Amino acid sequence: MIDVIESGFFTTVQDSGRAGYRHAGVPTSGAMDAWAYRLANALVGNSGDEAVLEATMAGPTLRFRVEAVVAVCGGDFPCALNGQPISLWKPEAVQSGDVLEVGVCRTGFRAYIAVSGGIDVPPVMGSRSTYVPAQLGGLAGRPLRRRDVLPVGAMHPFTAARSIRWGLSRLAASYIHGKTKTVRVIPGPEYDEFTPESRRQFFAARYEVTPQSDRIGYRLSGPALALVRERDMVSEAVVFGTVQVPASGQPIVLMADSQTTGGYPRIAQVAAVDLPILAQARPGDCLQFQLVASEEATRLYKEQHHRLIRWMAAIRRQWEGEW
Amino acid sequence: MMMEYTLFPLCEYAVTVRFADCIDEAVNEVVHGTATRLEAAKKEGIEEIVPAFSSLTIYYDPLVIDYIGVGAWLRKNIRRPEQATRRLARTVVIPVCYGGEFGPDLSDVARFHGMTETEVVTLHSTGRYRVYMIGFSPGFAYLGGLSPRLATPRRPVPRTKVPAGSVGIAGGQTGVYPLATPGGWQLIGRTPLKLFDPHREKPSLLAAGDIVVFQPIGDCEFARWRGEHD
């Protein structure tokens, strides 16, 4: 068990998402930054899809009632274990009674706090991910509150607590830095219906992430985008990363909790490879969109997947070496 | 009915098959016929087939099958003769307690159309509604088939909370709120049924392609339904 001493700004339980229920109108949810989520799980010796805590902007303070291994990955959140600063992207052994403080994020926006054995809330529709609008999954379908108690699964024997002297190189976090983030996109289904000027602006200008941004979508601010001819759209599928443009002309990027269908014209689709970059953008950061072909986006996605597999295999070997 | 279609990648793991760009019963029928056929022909890597008004989207695992592979699989199966693939539409009866505290806007809707409340209820509950698609929120069904005589503009100021099960009208659409959410629909009644229940094997009561019939019930029956099913 873990006691929640402070909840942080918006902390939810997330895993790899709730797949297979789009036909019932249920969003996939899951960790916004899959890269940090996967590596955090690997660092604590978890096998893959265990649930972690996703912290936003300001992290929680947690007291462990169990012996465990923890790792914090993602944005640059100052972290301390019993008051002593600890590194991100690195496994740490904790004893019963230890207190982990995850502070206020300096760059990036989200942190993934993984615990050996995973956060063991009951799965709902095959996932432990929290979807707040429908109160699904997680801890009673809501963000953490002070005095919550989180169940923890059984940890892998090879992570039995001792001091751990290794972690990931700074390369793991290289996508997080910078106030202006380059995000690759493929053309959206309605791309050709936008005016040539709008299509030019979309790539030439920078779009700022506004404070009206959350796990459902980021509202952006920048040059307004217009269709050649306004028309009524018939609702169609949308996914994490779809950039849609309502009548205001200000684009919205749909995120992990986005609904399954939408009725606004879609100018672009963020390449899956760059979704972690988007997940770590905070209000005030700027996005610079860059066009790539659909085949290129798929190639980049597979390449990233294989890079992740290699990193995870290296972590696994490190753990086996410890054992 | 066979229709022309266009195919385009939505993202690295989804393709959309679009038959038309309109809300039309015959087109929607083709969408569901095709979805049923593709569902029966599912192969490794094809994860989910999700129908919409006039298109459907196929979700796949790009590490198992690529866009070209999905396209080839689709072309092979989309052209199959329709025999035995056209399933009979399922009819779902939704009991509704109209008016009173459950349908606070029923009198406004009646006044708007110069009808009595009973006439509105009769017209609404004698319709047959088609579930064109599920979307917008978990378990929310886009229904076609509202009598044009009942088309009513949304409320000028949306309510901050509409209870789950509320039955409403918005423009030419009618529908049921699966979850308590804010909303601007004219509320004419409420059903005791749960349109969405994450703990059921099929969380959404309605599925795309279903036919919906509203059955008027009284307050007592509403309470009894709740008692029996909660």
The beta-carbon neighbor of B14 closest among A21, A233, A239 is A239
Strand, coil or helix: A157: helix
Q: Would you give the DSSP letter of residue A313?
A: H
Q: What is the pLDDT of residue A170?
A: 86
**Chain A residues within an 8 Å CB radius of B12:** 271-272, 297-298, 301
pLDDT at B83 over 60: no
The beta-carbon neighbor of A259 closest among B62, B137, B139 is B137
Residues 6+ apart with CB under 8 A from A180: A206, A285, A286, A287, A288
Q: What is the pLDDT of residue A164?
A: 86
Positions of chain A with pLDDT lower than 70, given as ranges: 156-161, 323
> With an 8 Å Cβ cutoff, are B135 and A21 in contact?
no
Report which residue type is found at B137: S
CB pairs under 8 A between A and B: 121
Return the number of other C-beta atoms located less than 10 Å from residue A237's C-beta.
Answer: 26
**Chain B residues within an 8 Å CB radius of A186:** 9, 11
Ordered strands of the B55-60 beta sheet:
B6-11, B14-18, B55-60, B46-51
The DSSP-derived string for A203-252 is HHS-EEEEEEE-SSEEEEESS---BSS--PPPPEE--TTEEE--TTS--E
Distance CA B158, CA B185 (A): 7
Distance CA B8, CA A189 (A): 7
Mutate to test the interface with A, among B10, B42, B201 (most CBs of A within 10 A): B10
Q: What is the pLDDT of residue A157?
A: 67
The beta-carbon neighbor of A25 closest among B14, B136, B181 is B136
Percent of chain A with pLDDT over 90: 89
Q: What is the pLDDT of residue A20?
A: 94
CB B169 within 8 A of CB B185: yes
**Chain B residues within an 8 Å CB radius of A23:** 48-51, 134, 204, 207-208
Residue B84 banded pLDDT, cuts 50, 70, 90: very low
> With an 8 Å Cβ cutoff, are A124 and B198 in contact?
yes
> With an 8 Å Cβ cutoff, are A305 and B55 in contact?
no
> With an 8 Å Cβ cutoff, are A189 and B48 in contact?
no
A271-295 pLDDT tens trace: 999 999 999 999 999 999 999 999 9
**Chain B residues within an 8 Å CB radius of A265:** none
CB A308 within 8 A of CB A35: yes
The beta-carbon neighbor of A237 closest among B52, B142, B199 is B52
Q: Same CATH fold, B91-229 and B6-78?
A: no
CATH tag, A180-292: 2.40.100.10
Give chain B's mean pLDDT: 91
Residue A196 parent element (H or E): helix A196-204
**Chain A residues within an 8 Å CB radius of B138:** 21, 24-27, 134, 136
Q: What is the pLDDT of residue A4?
A: 98
CB A197 within 8 A of CB A267: no
Q: What are the helix (H) ranges across chain B?
A: 25-40, 67-78, 106-113, 117-125, 219-229
The beta-carbon neighbor of A269 closest among B11, B51, B199 is B11
**Chain A residues within an 8 Å CB radius of B171:** none
HSE of A155 in the Cβ direction (CA atoms, 13 Å)? 22
> What is the rounded average pLDDT of the residues B26-42?
92
pLDDT at B138 over 50: yes
Distance CA A222, CA A180 (A): 14
Q: What is the pLDDT of residue B38?
A: 94
pLDDT at B86 over 60: no
pLDDT at B81 over 60: no
A228-244 pLDDT tens trace: 998 878 899 999 999 99
CB A231 within 8 A of CB A205: no
Q: Would you give the DSSP letter of residue A105?
A: -
Residue A202: which of A217, A222, A184, A231 has the closest Cα?
A222
> With an 8 Å Cβ cutoff, are B50 and A271 in contact?
no
CB B88 within 8 A of CB B68: no
> With an 8 Å Cβ cutoff, are A234 and B53 in contact?
yes
> With an 8 Å Cβ cutoff, are A236 and B204 in contact?
no
Q: Which residue of A has its CA nearest to B18?
A: A236
Return the number of other C-beta atoms located less than 10 Å from residue A298's C-beta.
Answer: 22
pTM of the shown model: 0.93
Residue B87 banded pLDDT, cuts 50, 70, 90: low
Domain ranges in chain A are 2-173+312-322, 180-292
CATH architecture of B91-229: Beta Barrel (2.40)
Q: How far is A272 from chain B (nearest CA, A)?
A: 7
**Chain A residues within an 8 Å CB radius of B47:** 19-20
Q: How far is B209 from chain A (nearest CA, A)?
A: 11
Phi and psi for A36 in degrees, rounded to 5? -65, -40
Domain ranges in chain B are 6-78, 91-229
Q: What is the pLDDT of residue B160?
A: 87
Q: Which residue of A has its CA nearest to B12?
A: A298
Phi and psi for B6 in degrees, rounded to 5? -115, 155
**Chain A residues within an 8 Å CB radius of B140:** 25
> With an 8 Å Cβ cutoff, are A134 and B137 in contact?
yes
The beta-carbon neighbor of B133 closest among A20, A261, A269 is A261
Complex ipTM, two decimals? 0.94
Strand, coil or helix: A297: helix
CATH tag, B6-78: 3.30.1360.40
> With an 8 Å Cβ cutoff, are B140 and A237 in contact?
no
